[in-house]
Amino acid sequence: MEIHVKSAEIRSRLFLKWSYEDHQPGRKDSIKADSDAPIHEDLHNAFQALLPHLLLLTEQKQKPDVVKQLDLDKPLPEEITNKFKVTGFSTEEKNGEIFVKITGVRHLNTGKNLALTMPSTGRGSKENEYEFFDKMIDAVETIKAEVVAFMDGKQAERAQPEIGFDDEEFEPEESEAESDAAMDAKESFKKLKKDLKKKGMSIEVTTSSDAA
């Protein structure tokens, strides 16, 4: 099993919703998941490391406002981090090039929030290259690693008693002539569903049989 995280989003400042691909020999499973387990501080901080890129690429701040932090890998000042937050990211590949989209919010003086969505951004051509693209990709990879760690149980402690789930089992639809491989996949998904339920997670699965 090889996990490729494709997107992740913080919900209600505390919980995680994400999607990933599970690559196995001869198949690729696309999975959407969410959890009522609170995220670890490391995952929250990993998201906020994308904030300089969100600010630049939505033109909320000019380059001089954030370039020092990007060049020296230092945190942004509190007057910025108190007003802006990163809430999610997604990645996709087009013609061999990686594109990143970042979402976030700006807290307005009225007490309301303004949603921010960064345009899907790749490295760009030599003439219009995003000069901090490599740093942005590094930050995204850190988030992906923290999401996998979250799936493995790296979570914050719950402030309230855990809410139980029902005992309904995930059952893939059966074909009339179900192969041994399909049976193995069904058992694998049953185990995955059971393991994730123990961690407070739920999943939605779609399967592609033509994966490399």
Domain-wise residue ranges, the chain: 2-208
Per-residue pLDDT band at 125 (split at 50, 70, 90): confident
Tell me what pLDDT residue 172 has.
Answer: 46
Residue with tokens 């399967």: 207
**Lowest mean per-residue pLDDT among 11-25, 117-131, 151-165:** 151-165
Tokens at 208, concatenated? 């592609």
pLDDT over 70 (residue 188): no
Helix (H, G, I), strand (E, B) or coil at 186: helix
Burial (CB count <10 Å: 0-12, 13-18, 19+), residue 99: middle
Tell me what pLDDT residue 196 has.
Answer: 67
Neighbours of 101 (CB within 10 A): 16
Tell me what pLDDT residue 168 has.
Answer: 46
User: Average pLDDT of 56-67?
Assistant: 93
The set of residues, in sequence order, having a beta carbon less than 8 Å from that of 98 and lying 6+ positions away, is 91, 92, 122, 123, 137
User: Average pLDDT of 95-107?
Assistant: 97
Amino acid identity for residue 183 in this structure: M
More confident site: 176 or 5: 5
**Lowest mean per-residue pLDDT among 39-43, 141-145, 178-182:** 178-182
- The mean of the pLDDT values for the chain is 86
